[in-house]
């Protein structure tokens, strides 16, 4: 897998572009504003074909350029069905610019897979930040894209619309079952590993709740 990354927008959202080097098929994860131009440049320069636009959850700082990227590439949009409404009718609370609506064509149900070229990503439904938050596991490459579920040293907010501390605790406990070497690529901030986050994950798993 070839992986490109850029932090964009007022909340420094991490946008990821993944490509299967043999087939040149690619996907984009969390196309925040402004990422459309950068994605288009990378695709054109490298001869990649975008097969999918994937949103880890429905918040405006992760979906703002979905429509623009789709218009430029004709790639379908995917999200968990419980977050679909947030893409179709985005709630740009505190957003400094309008958030265009986008229409998902593919449901990212928990336990499903995303395939492009020879690469397979496993979909983990990890609610807590929103009802339909997902993480994406690339076991062959040792990567976990966590959106706003797990950060380096913390987890996503649970006090926004659709958030739940109980659901977040259950999701983090599920991530605690993953292997330490797995590299974590979150929706904001630096990369980390499951091993580095092990003390937090195990604490939540044992307690059954988030730390106070």
Q: pLDDT tens digit string along 23-79?
A: 999 999 999 999 999 999 999 999 999 999 999 999 999 999 999 999 999 999 999
Instruction: Tell me, letter by letter, the H, E, C secondary structure of 162-175.
Output: CCCHHHHHHHHHHH
- The answer to whether position 89 is within a domain reads yes
- The answer to whether position 60 is within a domain reads yes
- The answer to whether position 139 is within a domain reads yes
Average pLDDT over residues 116-133: 98
Q: What CA–CA distances, in Å, run from 203 to 86, 173, 183, 211?
A: 32, 9, 20, 8
Q: pLDDT tens digit string along 181-200?
A: 999 999 999 999 999 999 99
* Predicted local distance difference test score (pLDDT) of residue 188: 98
Tell the burial category of 193 from Cβ atoms under 10 Å away from its Cβ (0-12, 13-18, 19+).
Answer: middle
Higher-confidence position of 94 and 57: 57
Tokens matching residue 162: 């659709």
178 touches 191 (CB < 8 A): no
Within 13 Å, how many C-alpha atoms sit on residue 99's CB side?
A: 23
* Predicted local distance difference test score (pLDDT) of residue 102: 98
- The answer to whether position 96 is within a domain reads yes
- Please state the pTM of the whole predicted model: 0.97
Query: How many other CB atoms are found less than 10 A from the CB of residue 188?
Result: 18
As for how many domains the chain has, the answer is: 1
Write the CATH number for 70: 3.60.15.10
* Predicted local distance difference test score (pLDDT) of residue 133: 98
- Domain range for 108: 2-207
**Which residues, 6+ apart, have CB-to-CB distance to 167 below 8 Å?**
127, 128, 131, 158
- The answer to whether position 68 is within a domain reads yes
- The answer to whether position 108 is within a domain reads yes
7-17 CB burial, b ≥16 within 10 A, e <16 = ebbeeebbbbb
155 touches 172 (CB < 8 A): yes
- The answer to whether position 212 is within a domain reads no
- The answer to whether position 114 is within a domain reads yes
Handedness of CA 171, 158, 193, 87 (dihedral sign): positive
Measured CA to CA, the distance from residue 168 to residue 209 in angstroms comes to 8
* Predicted local distance difference test score (pLDDT) of residue 197: 98
Measured CA to CA, the distance from residue 176 to residue 124 in angstroms comes to 13
């Amino acid at each position: 897998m070839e992986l490109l990354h850029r932090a964009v927008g007022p909340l420094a959202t991490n946008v990821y572009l993944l490509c299967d080097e043999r087939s040149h098929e690619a996907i984009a994860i969390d196309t925040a504003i402004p990422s459309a131009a950068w994605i288009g440049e990378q695709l054109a320069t490298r001869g990649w074909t975008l097969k999918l636009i994937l949103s880890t959850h429905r918040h405006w700082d992760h979906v703002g350029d979905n429509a623009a990227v789709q218009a430029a590439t004709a790639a379908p949009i995917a999200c968990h069905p419980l977050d679909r409404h947030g893409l179709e009718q985005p709630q740009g609370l505190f957003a400094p610019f309008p958030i265009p609506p986008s229409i998902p064509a593919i449901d990212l149900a928990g336990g499903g897979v995303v395939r492009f070229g020879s690469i397979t990503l496993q979909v983990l439904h990890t609610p807590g930040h929103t009802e339909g938050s997902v993480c994406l596991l690339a076991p062959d490459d040792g990567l976990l894209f966590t959106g706003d579920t797990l950060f380096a040293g913390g987890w996503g907010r649970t006090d926004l619309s659709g958030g739940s501390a109980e659901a977040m605790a259950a999701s983090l406990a599920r991530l605690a079952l993953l292997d330490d070497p797995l590299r974590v690529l979150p929706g904001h901030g630096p990369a980390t590993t499951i091993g580095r986050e092990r003390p937090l994950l195990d604490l939540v798993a044992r307690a059954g709740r988030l730390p106070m």
